[in-house]
Amino acid sequence: MSQGLPGDHRWRLAPPKLLRVDMRQVWLFGELARLPGVECRVYCDQTPLKLSCCVAIMAYWLKPPSIPEMKIVWAQCDMSYSGEVQTRKHTRLTLYAGALMCFVGTGWAALNLTVVPWFWIGACGLALAVVLLYFDRNKLGKPKWFWFNVACCCLVLLLCELICYVHYNRTHATEVYSPPLETFIRDDPILGYVLRSNARTHVSWMWRDQRVHEATYTTDAHGFRAGPSRRAERGRPVVFMGCSITFGSGLEDEQTISCQVEELTEGRYQCYNLGVFGYGTHQCYAQLKNGLVDEAVGGERPRAIIYQAIIGHASRASGRLPWNCRGPRFVIDDHGELRYCGTLEQARAQAWQQRCVLSRWARTAIAESFIKKDVYDRFHVADAEGRHLQVALIERMRDEIAGRYPDCEFHIIFWDCPGPDRRHNDWFVGQVEQKGIVLHRIRDILPDYEKGWVEYTVAHPFDNHPNASAVARLAGYIIAHILKEGEHSAHGKITD
């Protein structure tokens, strides 16, 4: 005897059989059986039994699902339609699609609404993996251990993200500018950004609502870091170039390297500070090439141009740092020549357009990870291409200075700071000295710098830029060994 059922399921009666059915599974399968084309399965004495939709619904409504076990007499069904394999696959695909939609929705909300997005992404992945581990079974009815591995990976992710978030907040302070930073810098088509003329801002380093350090920055009419009023006696110019170390991040105007050298020489040298925080070697060379040094010195011949370098300038010159991608782009061609190729922003935009949408979203999402902020960014090492580019730019700076100012000396003060790049310090020194450029290592200037560098920082661990004491020692070294003004004593006097 046969009977047609909805969805063209056909079954025939067989001798009645007494079975024990787990009502928790029957309730779930009864819910799934409401969907068209879904195959349900329960277990009787560890033996899988296939139920048609009608039998699953009948078992679901026979007793309430609160009863853990029950005995029912029913007709064993013989599935005779050809869509059995497809229905099992549709069930699994529905489960996977639901989990994927939940994961993507939670990830989008976490990236846009939370402070530690990857912690919540890991937690969501862990929860979904546990659910799939319970419900997604193989052909023998056993859990798929693939989801166990996924759950372990998600657990490791959320724990690492939480640890890095805690460590990041213990060692990083928020820089608060008053007035805002936008009033102190402006965009520039060549250098990417420059300091505004006659601007002033106050910076506070805030950590857990506490002010750990503060400083005031002032610029002159040319947009360079200014200091106390110039002396009436105008000496020969000395130009300082570089990044935040030269600029004097965390220092008051009168504590910067340019002001201290000018003060200690009692005005015999007029010092100009062309340093800008975040600059790399490529921007320093562009300053020279585009006449900013001429603008600073007002047509006079500089006595010396001093560039303070770090090995990290290589990553900035190659455009591998996301916060400094608007400066000029230089490349070394196949003939070993240095060429100007537009801006880093244009190259970055072109490379971004060539990536697929998924790659763009992934890069944007990964940038929000505290694992990247606390580990990768801290231990990021400049690649070989960037280091060779940095050396080529320094060599071109020397040639530009020799062409513009024949009797001007070019010196490099190299901050061979401890860090992930320190293994490249000796290579950099050897390459620069091989070019015939005078280089001074900071570890030869500051006593016990390699072991006690923390003593020379502004506010460790929140700001590791050189403090006023380190800059004062450096100023004395510059006066004695570069400007040849005699030995500098501890009291700030020049002795012949």
Give the DSSP letter string of 72-112.
EEEPPP----TTHHHHHHHHHHHHHHHHHHHHHHHHHHHHH
What's residue 62's pLDDT? 44
- Cβ-based neighbours of 181, under 8 Å, separated by 6 or more: 201
Segment 329-356 mean pLDDT: 83
**What is the secondary structure of 214-241 as a DSSP string?**
EEEEEB-TTSSB--SPPPSS--EEEEEE
Percent of the residues in the chain that have a pLDDT greater than 70, as a whole number: 75
pTM to 2 decimal places: 0.74
Output the pLDDT for position 227: 79
Chain mean position to CA 389: 22
Residue 64 has pLDDT above 80, yes or no: no
Section 261-271 average pLDDT: 90
One-letter amino acid for residue 307 of the chain: Y
**Quick one: CA dihedral 50, 55, 59, 60, positive or negative?**
positive
> What confidence score (pLDDT) does residue 37 get?
47
Do residues 309 and 413 make contact, with C-beta atoms less than 8 angstroms apart?
yes
What's the mean pLDDT when you consider all of the chain?
Answer: 79
Which three-class secondary structure state does DSSP give residue 452? helix
> Any idea how long the chain is?
496
CA–CA distance, 476 with 391 (Å, rounded to integer): 27
- pLDDT greater at residue 138 or residue 257: 257
pLDDT per position as a tens digit, 424-447: 888 999 999 999 999 999 999 998
The C-alpha atoms of residue 406 and residue 421 are separated, in whole angstroms, by: 34
Token representation of residue 23? 């009502």
Q: For 371-392, what is each residue's pLDDT tens digit?
A: 988 887 666 677 889 999 999 9
Q: Residue 90: what pLDDT?
A: 66
pLDDT at 251 over 90: yes
Per-residue model confidence (pLDDT) at position 25: 44
pLDDT at site 351: 72
For the segment 460-483, the average pLDDT, to the nearest whole number, is 94
How far, in Å, CA of 265 to CA of 189, rounded?
37
**Region of poorest pLDDT, from 82-91, 342-351, 374-383, 457-466:** 82-91
50 — pLDDT class (breaks 50, 70, 90): very low
Give the model's pLDDT for residue 68: 40
> pLDDT tens digits for 171-196?
889 999 999 999 999 999 999 999 99
pLDDT band at 321 (very low <50, low <70, confident <90, very high): confident
pLDDT of residue 30 exceeding 70: no
List beta partners, residue 22: 69
Question: What's the pLDDT at 16?
Answer: 36
Would the pLDDT of 116 be above 80? yes
Residues 89 and 75 sit within 8 Å (Cβ to Cβ):
no
Task: Specify the pLDDT at position 330.
Answer: 94
- Peptide bond preceding 461: is omega within 30 degrees of 0, i.e. cis? yes
Would you kindly state where each structural domain of the chain is located, as residue ranges?
Answer: 2-74, 102-171, 174-495
What is the distance between the alpha carbons of residues 167 and 178, in angstroms, rounded to a whole number?
Answer: 27
- pLDDT at position 246 is 97
- On the question of pLDDT at 471 being above 60, the answer is yes
Average pLDDT over residues 304-308: 97
Per-residue model confidence as pLDDT tens digits over 208-228: 889 999 999 999 999 999 977
> Tokens 């006696």, residue?
233
pLDDT band at residue 63 using 50, 70 and 90 as cut-offs: very low
- Give me the architecture of the 174-495 domain, per CATH: 3-Layer(aba) Sandwich (3.40)
Instruction: Please check the confidence at residue 400 and state whether its pLDDT lies above 60.
Output: yes
Enumerate residues 6+ apart whose C-beta is below 8 A from 223. 194, 195, 196, 197, 199
Bridge partners of 333? Answer: none
* pLDDT (mean) for 39-53: 41
By C-alpha distance, which of 1, 4, 95 is closest to 54? Answer: 4
In the predicted model, what is the mean pLDDT of residues 436-461?
Answer: 90
